[in-house]
Structure 1
Amino acid sequence: MPLYEHVFISRQDLSGSQAEGLIEHFGTVLADNGGKLVDQEYWGIKTMAYKINKNRKGHYAFLKTDAPVPAIQEMERLMRLHDDVMRVLTIKVDDHGEGPSVQMQKRDERAERRERR
């Protein structure tokens, strides 16, 4: 089955547990349609570059999935219909990276960056 990565932003006035509940909800949608949630990360509340639906901040969540195309389409359709979800991004990938995403790594754990002049 194809591998996908999803990032979605939910409204800032949700509690942390409600935002994590959205991750579980969309994971069960995938499971009901023949896919599976490989990994999930809750990135927390982050400030956005511009307002979306009069919100400056949002709860960010990251999902790694292994699912057929109809399951992904159904999950995206339900995300777009859900009132609490503001934005969705889905990318098809060749393989899932090992370990946590860059957002979850500490600054000193990241690869060394080039020195500025």
Structure 2
Amino acid sequence: MPLYEHVMIARQDLSNTQAEGLIEHFGTVLADNGGKLVDSEYWGVKTMAYKINKNRKGHYAFLRSDAPAPAVQEMERLMRLHEDVMRVLTIKMDEHAELPSVQMQKREERGERRERR
């Protein structure tokens, strides 16, 4: 099955447990449609570059899934209809990285940046 990565932004007035509940809810949507949630990370409340629906901040979540395309389409459809979800981004990947995402790594653990020209 194809591999996907999803980033979701939820409203800032949700509690942390409600935001993590959204992750579990959409994981079950994938499971009901023949896919599975490989890994998920809750990144916390972050400030956005611009306002979305009159919100300056949002709960960010990162999901890795192994699911057929119809399951991902159904999950995206339900995310867009859900009133607490503001934005969704889905990317099809060739393989999942084993390390935690860059957002979850400390600065010391990240690789060195290359010089700008």
When normalised by structure 2's length, the TM-score is 0.97
Superposed displacement of residue 114, structure 1: 3.2
Q: How many residues align?
A: 117
Describe the superposition over 1:1-22 as per-residue Cα deviations: whole angstroms up to 9, x where unpaired.
0000000100000000000000
Matches within 5 A, 1:57-96: 57-96=57-96
CA distance in 1, matches of 2:74, 2:60: 20
User: What is the root-mean-square deviation in Å for CA atoms of aligned residues?
Assistant: 1.2
The answer for the alignment partner of 1:28 in structure 2 is 28
Superposed displacement of residue 116, structure 1: 7.2
What are structure 1's unaligned runs of at least 5 residues? none
The answer for the alignment partner of 1:46 in structure 2 is 46
CA distance in 2, matches of 1:115, 1:40: 32
CA distance in 2, matches of 1:29, 1:61: 16
Percent same amino acid among aligned pairs? 85
User: Which amino acid is the alignment partner of residue 41 of structure 1?
Assistant: E
User: Which amino acid is the alignment partner of residue 8 of structure 2?
Assistant: F
The answer for the alignment partner of 1:97 in structure 2 is 97
Moved over 6 A (4+): none
